[in-house]
Structure formats: C-alpha cells, structure tokens
Amino acid sequence: MKKKILGIFIMMLLIGLVVPLVNSTDENIEGKNYNNILFDEKPIYEDCIYNTNNLAFKNFSKISDPLVPSLINDDTPKKNFFDLPNYFSWMDHEGQDWTTPAKNQGDCGSCWIFAALGTLESVIEIQENLSDLNPDLSEQYVLSCLPMAANVYGRGCIYGGDPNNAYKYIKAINESGNGCNGVPLEICMPYQADETVDCKEKSADWETYLVPITDYGNYWWGNHNESTLNQIKTRIIESGPVVTGINVTNKFTLFGGIHHDQTDFYPDTHEQEWSGWLNHIIIIVGWKDDPSINNGGYWICKNSWGTTWGYDGFFNIEYGALFTGWYIVWVEYDSESYEWSDNYNPPNIVNIDGQINGKKGIDYEYTFIATDPNELELFYYIQWGDGEIEEWIGPFDSNSEMKINHTWNKKGPYIITAMVKNTDNIGSKWSTIEVSMTKNKAINTPFITFLENHPHLFSLIRQILGLKI
C-alpha cells in the first residue's frame, strides 16, 4: 500500500514537472513571446511590422525604408494664408463628414498609398460637393500596377514609398504610369496587402472606372513654427486634407490602442527617432488650437490601421510631435474630369456571422448578407486571412443570405474581410471580423510524449506500484 501511495506521489510530481513545460509552450506563439512587447522600443520585426499582445494580435505596419527629408524635393510655391479659425475639421465641416472611412493596410507597409488615396477620396467629395459620395479607390492598383512609385521597384509593401510619387505615377500617361492618368475604383482590383499580385488581376473594365487627378505637390518644411502651421492650415481649408509623414514609435502604436476619445491627443514627448525619420504616412484632416498645450494645439488625423485603433481609425497629435506636419503632400481633382453616376449609391457593408473561436483543420460555415439600396443583385468578394480568396461569388438577391464554408489549416488569429458589388458595378466598403483558430490537442499527449522519451521511468513506476507486465 505504501509503495502504491509513493508511486502515485511520484507520478504527480512528474506531471507537475511536465505541465509547466507544456504551458510555457502555449505562451509563445510560433516561437515568438509576445509579453511586454508594447513597452519595448525596438520593433519585433526589422521590416516594418509591430505585433502587440494586448491588441488582439493586430499588425501595425510601417515602411522599412523611411523617407529621408534631405532627399525630398520641394519646389511648390507657398500659399498666402488668411485669418484662420481656431478649429477646423473636414470630419464635421458645415455639419457633414467629408472624409471616407479609415481602412486597414494589414501586414504591408503600404501606408503611403492609403494616405495618398484617402486624401484624394476626400478631395473628390469636396470638389463634387457630395459628402456622402464615399468613393473607394484601389490601393492594390497602385501597389501592383505602378511599381515605380515604391521606394524600391515593385516592393511597396516591404520598403514602402513616397505619397508624392504615388500621385506622380497615377498622373503619368507613359509606361511607368500604366499608360493612363488615374486610379480605378476598389471593385476593379480589391486590396490584398500583397506586392506580388500581378497587375493583370485587375478587372477587364478597369479603365471605365479610372479616376484622374489634375495636379499634386509637396512641401518640406523641416521645422515647426507658426508660419508652417498656417501654411498647412491654409492648404487644408482651401483644398482639403493633406498627406503627412510621421515617425512612429511603439508608444504611439500603444496610444491608439487604448485612447478612443475624440478629445485625446498624442503629446509631443520628444521621443522621435531621428535616424528613422518618416516611417509612416497619414492624413491631416483638420486642427484645433489650444493655448494650454505646449505646442499650441493638435492636428486631427486619419490613420490606416483599421477602425479599432484610435477613434474609428482617426486620432489627434500635438503640433510637431513625431515630425507630424514637417512634410506634407497635396493633390487636386477636377469635378469635370470624371463623371460619377447619378445612381452612385453603394451597397451597405456586409454582415458576417460564424464561428469566432475554433480549431484548425475543422470546416466552419459562415453567413454573409448585404443589402443594396436599389435592390440590385450582389456579388461577394471574400478574403479569409490565410491567402485564400473567394472572388465575386454570385449573383445573390439583396438582403439574402450567402453561406460558405472555410477551413484554416494553421492555428492563429485571422481577419475575414468581405465586400460586395452590385450589378451596376458599384462596390461597398470592406467589412471585417476577427477569428481565432487554435490547435487540436489530444488529452495527455504532452505527458505521454514525455514518458515515451524517458522509457526507464515506466520500469521504475511498475516496480513501485508492484505492477506486472
């Protein structure tokens, strides 16, 4: 009896030794320990991607080949500014929102494209005098079809690019500009966060939806003072939002993950890394002067890290903080240059319903449903987050369910994204849902494996317990 009690004690001791080893493996995801990452100033990846544990494993991408101010060409004449209001924002100008919803660039350093096109989308609304137009331009087109716009040819995800070059090659009508002036709508080439997507994947009728630009330019101020502030404000209030560069740090990334109030602002803490310079590109949509703030106020900005970062993807940052506003790029659009359909009334975003927490290797059914204001039939475009894509499934009746199954073969978090287009080829905005697939585990597998790797323990346990073979 004593031997059996002793044997049980030894087995419990062995289990106590093995279980912590197993649990410690679960705390590391594919070999990377995500604990305390947000408080480490060094990026986890050298090529532009921050991973954060407390933000549901969202990826916040920067460009790994930052813009160097000394190499930025600035030949744009400056504007004469006038009396400027203490507050102005295109998010609520004359009671209307002239910005388009914040998007998510994903695991790709394409912020320069999102900022360039997001700015153009707002300028289009302003010039067309249609705040609810919500044009949606194709970032993937710039990434795949305008390779010269990237810092390194065709590597716009890894090495990023200059938003001024994005406009340059959008406007170019030679081979480097894909032979035309303009960028098509999102439905012509949906975003895949992948620089290797071939330009040939754009739709056959993409030229029909090509939106041109009339002019663009940039300012490199190289400092922060009242004169430069007024120049930027004048450009914004006269022409629309502008693109700017910023020196992102981990503290800034964390800020937007926990601050979701429209009155919060990121302070000028002077922690900018001079060697990194402008490693992220955003949009300035307005400002607010406040004498109680050290630098006199803050910029109102739009990011491209999704709508859960900041307040619906927007944020405020103190004048001059992280070099914000030191370099800006602007674009102009002529309302006579593109004819928007009188029926341009996009479908509503897709509602996605299905298993949020599951196991890898298991087939799960998901339901997608969207409505069209004109009751037109709809086609669905779905990205599962693992590289698999369902391209324009349909047509389905408006407000009818579309069911489809999918299996993830590796564990991890995934973002399902979906959009629809109607039979008039007008597309909706993207909608997203995050799912998590974990590994299937056999009961006691780690302990059995441990014993199999230490066969002498079987003999010891049998002797203690008095068992017979």
Domains and CATH numbers, the chain: 62-332 (3.90.70.10), 351-438 (2.60.40.10)
β-pairing, 280-289 with 297-302? antiparallel
Residue with token string 């914004």: 236
What is this structure's pTM?
0.76
What average pLDDT values come out for the chain (469 residues) when binned by 10 residues?
A: 53 46 33 28 29 36 53 54 87 96 94 98 96 94 97 94 96 96 96 96 94 94 84 94 93 94 93 68 98 96 95 96 93 91 83 95 96 94 93 95 96 93 90 90 53 55 52
Are the C-beta atoms of 271 and 251 separated by less than 8 Å? yes
d(CA 69, CA 221): 9
Spatial separation of the C-alpha atoms in residues 140 and 183, rounded to whole Å: 10
The answer to whether the beta carbons of residues 183 and 172 sit under 8 Å apart is no
Q: Which residues, listed in sequence order, are joined to residue 369 by a DSSP beta bridge? A: 351
pLDDT given at position 420: 95
pLDDT of residue 343: 66
**pLDDT value at residue 416:** 94
Q: CA 73, 78, 80: angle at the middle one, nearest 5?
A: 170
Specify the pLDDT at position 341. Answer: 75
- Give the CA radius of gyration of the chain: 27
Q: How many CB atoms lie within 10 A of CB 108?
A: 25
**What pLDDT sits at residue 450?**
57
Query: How far apart, in Å, are the Cα atoms of 215 and each of 126, 164, 187?
Result: 16, 11, 25
Q: Look at residue 41 in the predicted model and tell me its pLDDT.
A: 31
